[in-house]
């Protein structure tokens, strides 16, 4: 049985990795988080980066209930595991928040939700997010200011140009207090990330600029790009 965190202990930070998706768009032979890049699975690369963030008290990976592959692909002690993932990302995160609370995390502790398939994340970027958000009333997320011209499409044709000023591409981790995030997701409808649920409550999460390398592997061609980037990296 997990011992509860003493109520007067310092605020803690936890990572929560939703890892219950099937990754159909990526075209992999199975769940994309278990596809291999540079000799390791996507999830192994992701967990390696999180393990380098010393201020994280623990990492929780939330799997689908029928997942029997994770331990074979994680390669090392992955921290806490819960096989309670839901049909959507939001449901998986809500389940993970409940698991963290059951293991002693408190409402005012911070939770950093990170995509399993955003496997090129660097510990330095996560530390920058923590530095930016620890003293913030709301929390925030890694993100990238948009540089390209945006087009509105209809039937495969460009029909309008969208003003890209003040537009950012959301990334992860996304860092919020456990209690606030739990409440926000409990009220949310059709959200694709945690920040949108927080925004729906009237809050404005902080945007912390990151690198375009922190992309989420989504399409088949993303694997080749990610492999090249991993192979050319110097050690952190």
The whole-number pLDDT of residue 25 equals 42
Work out the percent of the chain whose per-residue pLDDT is above 70: 91
CB atoms within 10 A of CB 24: 9
Q: What are the phi and psi torsion angles at 154 (to 5°)?
A: -145, 120
Average pLDDT over residues 115-135: 97
Classified by CATH at the fold level, domain 13-232 comes out as Spore Coat Polysaccharide Biosynthesis Protein SpsA; Chain A (3.90.550)
Average of pLDDT values for 97-126?
A: 97
> Residue 22 pLDDT > 80, yes or no?
no
User: What pLDDT digit, counting tens, does each position of 68-90 carry?
Assistant: 999 889 866 778 999 999 999 99
> Contact, 126 vs 140, CB < 8 A?
no
pLDDT band at 28 (very low <50, low <70, confident <90, very high): low
Residue 2, pLDDT score: 45
Q: How confident is the model at residue 172 (pLDDT cuts 50, 70, 90)?
A: very high
Helices and strands, number each (H, E), in the chain: 7, 11
Tens-place pLDDT, residues 41-52: 999 999 999 999
Domain definitions of the chain by residue range: 13-232
Lowest mean pLDDT among 1-10, 51-60, 68-77, 145-154: 1-10
Q: Evaluate if residue 57 carries a pLDDT over 60.
A: yes
Would you state the pLDDT for residue 29? 53
Q: How far apart are CA 85 and CA 93, in angstroms?
A: 8
Give the tens place of pLDDT for each residue, 185-221.
999 888 999 999 999 999 999 999 999 999 999 888 9
Structure-block tokens of residue 40: 């390791």
Edge-to-edge strands, sheet with 206-209: 80-83, 56-63, 13-19, 110-113, 168-177, 139-145, 206-209
Determine the pLDDT at residue 109. Answer: 98
What gap in Å lies between CA 39 and CA 45, rounded to an integer?
Answer: 10
pLDDT band at 234 (very low <50, low <70, confident <90, very high): low
Share the mean pLDDT of the chain: 90
pLDDT of 222 above 60: yes
User: How large is the average pLDDT for residues 92-110?
Assistant: 98
Residue 152 confidence (pLDDT): 94
């Amino acid at each position: 049985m997990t011992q509860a965190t003493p109520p007067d202990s310092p605020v803690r930070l936890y990572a929560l990795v939703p890892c219950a998706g099937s990754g159909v768009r990526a075209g992999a032979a199975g769940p994309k988080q278990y596809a291999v890049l540079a000799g390791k699975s996507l999830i192994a690369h992701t967990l390696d980066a999180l393990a380098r963030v010393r201020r994280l008290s623990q990492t929780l990976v939330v799997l689908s209930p029928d997942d029997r592959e994770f331990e074979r692909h994680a390669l090392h002690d992955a921290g806490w595991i819960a096989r309670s993932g839901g049909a959507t990302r939001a449901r998986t995160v809500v389940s993970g928040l409940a698991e963290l609370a059951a293991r002693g995390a408190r409402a005012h502790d911070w939770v950093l939700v990170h995509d399993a398939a955003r496997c090129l994340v660097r510990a330095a970027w996560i530390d920058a997010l923590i530095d930016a958000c620890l003293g913030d009333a709301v929390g925030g997320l890694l993100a990238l200011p948009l540089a390209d011209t945006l087009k509105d499409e209809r039937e495969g044709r460009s029909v309008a140009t969208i003003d890209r000023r003040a537009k950012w591409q959301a990334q992860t981790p996304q860092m919020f207090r456990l209690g606030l995030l739990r409440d926000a997701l409990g009220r949310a409808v059709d959200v694709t990330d945690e920040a949108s649920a927080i925004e729906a409550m009237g809050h404005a999460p902080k945007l912390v600029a990151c690198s375009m390398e922190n992309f989420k592997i989504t399409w088949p061609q993303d694997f080749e790009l990610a492999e090249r980037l991993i192979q050319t990296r110097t050690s952190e």
